C-alpha cells in the first residue's frame, strides 16, 4: 500500500460536508432532504442522487448522522493515510455508489439517505487491507456482522445499501492491494475503472427494470 503522512484532509472534508448539509436540513427544512436523497425512479433524470444521498441524513434521528460520522472519523484517517487522498476519495464515492446501486436493484421503491453504504465500504476495505497486512480481523468481522444484522431486523434501515457499499468498498480495496507496487499504477487505474463501469452497467440494468 502507499502511505501518506499528511493529515486526513479528505476525511475531514467529508465529515464537514455531511455536518453542513445536516445543519441546512434543520435551518431550511425538508426541501434539502428531498433534493439530495436517493429514490430509484429518479435515477434517469437525477442520477447524481446516487452520490448525494451519502451526504444527507435523517433530520429526526441524530444518531443516524452521529454514528456515520463517528465511524468515518475512526476508519477514515487510517485508510486515507494507507492509500492516499485520491484513492481514499475514490473508495468512498464508489462505495456510496455501490450502496445506491444495490438499493436500485433490490429495493427500488424505497427512498434512502445516509452515508451508511460508504461507511460499510470503509469497513470492507479495512478488512481487506488488514488481512493483506496480516492483522487480526476478528473484531472487525464482529462489528460488520452486528451492523449488517441490525439492518435486517430494525425497520427503516437499508440493509441493501449496506451490502452494496460493503461489496463495492471491498472490491476497490482488493484492487488496491493487488496493484500496490509503483509499476502497477496503470493496472490499478484499469481495475478501478472496471469496478466503476460495472456499477454503471448494473445501474443501467436496474433502471431498465423500472420501466
pLDDT tens readout for residues 114-162: 999 999 999 999 999 988 887 667 777 777 777 677 766 666 778 899 9
Of 64, 71, 158, 162, which residue is the catalytic one?
A: 162
What pLDDT score was predicted for residue 6?
77
What pLDDT score was predicted for residue 99?
97
Q: Which own/partner contact pairs does 60-68 have at CB distance under 8 Å and 24+ positions apart? A: 64/114, 65/18, 65/19, 65/22, 65/114, 68/18, 68/114, 68/115, 68/116, 68/119
CA distance to 6, 19, 22, 25, 39, per residue, from 169 (Å): 23, 23, 24, 28, 22
Give yes or no: 71 in active site. Answer: no
Q: Do 178 and 191 meet the contact criterion of CB atoms below 8 Å apart?
A: yes
Look at the block and give the residue holding cell 464508489.
94
Whether the model pTM is above 0.95: no
Give yes or no: 57 in active site. Answer: no
Q: Nine-digit cell at 6?
A: 499528511
The yes-or-no verdict on residue 5 having pLDDT over 70 is no
Give the residue extent of every domain in the chain.
Answer: 9-208
What pLDDT score was predicted for residue 135?
67
The yes-or-no verdict on residue 182 having pLDDT over 90 is no
What pLDDT score was predicted for residue 146?
72
Of 116, 170, 198, 209, which residue is the catalytic one?
A: 116
Tell me the HSE value of 45 on the side-chain side, using a 13 A CA sphere: 4
What pLDDT score was predicted for residue 126?
93
CATH topology of domain 9-208: Rhomboid-like fold (1.20.1540)
Amino acid at each position: 500500500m502507499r502511505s501518506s503522512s499528511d493529515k486526513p484532509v479528505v476525511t475531514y472534508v467529508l465529515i464537514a460536508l455531511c455536518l453542513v448539509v445536516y445543519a441546512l436540513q434543520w435551518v431550511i427544512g425538508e426541501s434539502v432532504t428531498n433534493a439530495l436523497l436517493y429514490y430509484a425512479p429518479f435515477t434517469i433524470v437525477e442520477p447524481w442522487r446516487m452520490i448525494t444521498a451519502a451526504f444527507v441524513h435523517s433530520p429526526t434521528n441524530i444518531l443516524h448522522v452521529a454514528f456515520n460520522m463517528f465511524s468515518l472519523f475512526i476508519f477514515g484517517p487510517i485508510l486515507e493515510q494507507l492509500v492516499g487522498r485520491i484513492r481514499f476519495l475514490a473508495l468512498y464515492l464508489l462505495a456510496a455508489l455501490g450502496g445506491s446501486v444495490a438499493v436500485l436493484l433490490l429495493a427500488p421503491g424505497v427512498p434512502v439517505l445516509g452515508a451508511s453504504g460508504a461507511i460499510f465500504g470503509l469497513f470492507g476495505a479495512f478488512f481487506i487491507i488488514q488481512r493483506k497486512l496480516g492483522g487480526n480481523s476478528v473484531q472487525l468481522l464482529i462489528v460488520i456482522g452486528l451492523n449488517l444484522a441490525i439492518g435486517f431486523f430494525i425497520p427503516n434501515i437499508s440493509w441493501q445499501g449496506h451490502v452494496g457499499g460493503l461489496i463495492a468498498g471491498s472490491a476497490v480495496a482488493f484492487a488496491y492491494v493487488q496493484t500496490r507496487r509503483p509499476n502497477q499504477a496503470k493496472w490499478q487505474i484499469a481495475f478501478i475503472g472496471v469496478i466503476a463501469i460495472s456499477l454503471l452497467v448494473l445501474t443501467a440494468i436496474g433502471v431498465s427494470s423500472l420501466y
